[in-house]
Each structure stands twice: as structure tokens, then as C-alpha cells.
Amino acid sequence: MFLGNQFSEIPAWLHDNGKKLDSMLAAQHVPHTILFSGSEGVGKSEMADMFSKALLCASNIKLPCENCKSCNLFEHQTHGDFLHVSCEDSKNNIGVEQIRNAISFSNKTSAFGRRKVILINPAEKLQRNASNAILKFLEEPPENTTVLLVSNRDGNLPATVHSRCLRLEFNSPDYQTAYRWLSEKLPRESEFSKAIALSLRQPFKALTLIKTKEFDKLVATIGSQDSPIGLNIGLLGSLAKQKHPDVLLLEYLCLQLEQFLKETSEASLKSSSSKDIFECQSKLRSLIAKLDQGIALNISLNFTNIVSKLIKVMEQH
């Protein structure tokens, strides 16, 4: 049974989706396409990897067994029935050629004579013609191929793709759960609060932040600001004043703030600030899209205005 013996090792906030995936395997009724949706760093990629391995595992008792040839090959990233489609090194998107390759992969005979798995991550990076190609494929998927889509922003995927998927939504845990999980992983407790705040409660993102130099850079830039969302706005403000800010960092902050606005707008649908929130959201979305496509922006012009609006929204909540 998927996760059966390992369930206690799965972070608590992933249990619900773990159970759903588990029962699909137990019933041997796995949909052709599953969409893992949620913020970056919540644990979707880890869950999709583990599920891929379980789908391919040769054991019928405990999945993934970690002992069979299939599990070994998967661990060494050389499994012939598994294809991971991601952005190519030199590009920031997934092109139509990559999807054509995936389709021909699905038409080949399985190395183990069983199922094949195609994992597309991050699916929001599919170019338009790649989305069209995958849609045609999903309309008539081969019997023995499972497609897993993982997306931080599945709103970017066409509705027609959505309609072909079983969607699993991954939500961030509360602060205490994230803190407890981090303390099982790392000794640097003094940094947990800031890392959780900066990642907007995405524990895997917080873990990566602490493990990399990015965290020290972020904390050094933030300075004395102390509220979680204030940290991000403060950092965005200081980046907006730089001539050549780190674009990745900028995109990262925009995504965090977009998530904050999404939660705020759900909590205050009828409040007087809903117009400001809506305006901030649409501005951030269009900036994220431009950053995503690598369009050169006048950072100061684009961000100074949005920072002042964000401060206004934050002060009201």
C-alpha cells in the first residue's frame, strides 16, 4: 500500500492527499492525469516524485518498496518507463518539442511491461503550443501511461487542460506545524521564524532557504522589518530602488505577495480595501507574467507604485 509503512514520515499537511493517492493505488484505479496544485515549496513535487516511484514499483505489497529493480532505477534517475519533463537549462519554459518527445515516449513499449509515467513540472511553464499538444494527448491517452502535472500556478493552464485532470490541491500548514517539521530537519532554530515568514509557510521552501546562501542574503536585505508580509514588501521596496535587482528574487517576492493577497481577498471580500487588493493582484500578476517571459522592465517605475499600495493593504489587515 502506498505510504503504508512510511506514513509517519510524510509531513502532516500532506496526509490528506497522501491518503487519496494511496486509495487510488489500493483500488488500482489511477486517473490518466493528476494535477498537483499549490504554492511552491509546499511539498507537491516531493509527493509527485514518490507517487511516480510507487506507480512504477514492482512490489504488490508495500509501495514504493525501495528494494526492487524499478525502485533502484528510479532512485538513480535511470528508469526507462519514467520521463521527467521540465524547463530546459537554457530556457524558462517547456516547449512543444519536449511534449512531442513525451508523446513518442508514451507510444514505446514499456521496459518493465507495465505502466509508464510522465511527470511535467512546472506545468505552468508549458508554452502555448506545448499546452495544445498536451491537450490533444490527454484527450486520448494511451492505456498504460499516467501523466502527472505539478504546478505552482495552475491558473496559467488552459481550462481545457484542467478539465482532463484530477486536481489535488496542496495547502500550506499553520505556523506551528511548519516550525515543528523544520525542527526535525535542522538544528538552526533561531532562523526558523524568518524562514517560515519569508516562504509564506511553505516548509520545503523554508528548508531550502535556510540551507542556501539565499536566506542570508534575504535576511541581510530585509534589515529590521519584523512582520512576515512586511518583510517581503520591505524587500520588494528596496529591490525597486536598485538599478539591476536580482530578477529571480523579484519574481519570488511577487509570488509570495500574490499568495498573501489571495488569502487577504478571501478573508475580506466586502471590506473597503477589496478594490486596493484587487488592483494589487492584477498588477502583480501582470508583472509576474512579464518577469516569467524575461521581458525587460523598468523596475523602479513598475514596483514603487505597487509597494505603496501593498503597504496600504497590509496596514488595513
Select the span of 20-28, 54-62, 151-159, 230-238 touching Zn ion (CB under 5 A).
Answer: 54-62
Pair 258, 286: CB distance under 8 Å:
no
Q: Which is nearer to Zn ion, 62 or 180 (CB)?
A: 62
Q: Which is nearer to Zn ion, 68 or 138 (CB)?
A: 68
Per CB under 5 A, does 209 bind Zn ion?
Answer: no
3-state secondary structure of 151: strand
Q: Which of 1, 10, 30, 65 binds Zn ion (CB under 5 A)?
A: 65
Peptide bond just before 64 cis, omega within 30 deg: yes
| Separation of CA 37 from chain center | 7
Per CB under 5 A, does 208 bind Zn ion?
Answer: no
Q: Please state at what angle helix 274-292 crosses helix 299-315, rounded to 10 degrees.
A: 150
Per CB under 5 A, does 30 bind Zn ion?
Answer: no
| CB 12 to Zn ion: min, Å | 25
Tell me which residue has cell 487588493. 277
Pair 44, 38: CB distance under 8 Å:
yes
* N-term to C-term CA, the chain: 45
Select the span of 64-72, 123-131, 220-228, 308-316 touching Zn ion (CB under 5 A).
Answer: 64-72
Q: Three cell numbers at 297?
A: 522592465
Q: Which of 10, 32, 59, 87 binds Zn ion (CB under 5 A)?
A: 59
Runs of H (alpha helix) within 28-68: 44-56
Q: What size, in residues, is the chain?
A: 317
Per CB under 5 A, does 6 bind Zn ion?
Answer: no
Per CB under 5 A, does 14 bind Zn ion?
Answer: no
**Contact flags string 108-127 toward Zn ion, x per CB under 5 A:** --------------------
Q: Which amino acid is at 99?
A: I
Q: Three cell numbers at 78?
A: 535511470
Q: Which is nearer to Zn ion, 71 or 306 (CB)?
A: 71
Q: Which is nearer to Zn ion, 25 or 314 (CB)?
A: 25
| CB 75 to Zn ion: min, Å | 10
User: Of 67-96, which residues contact Zn ion (CB under 5 A)?
Assistant: 68, 71
Per CB under 5 A, does 197 bind Zn ion?
Answer: no
In sequence order, the β-bridge partners of residue 117 are 82, 146
Residues interacting with Zn ion, by CB under 5 A?
A: 57, 59, 64-65, 68, 71
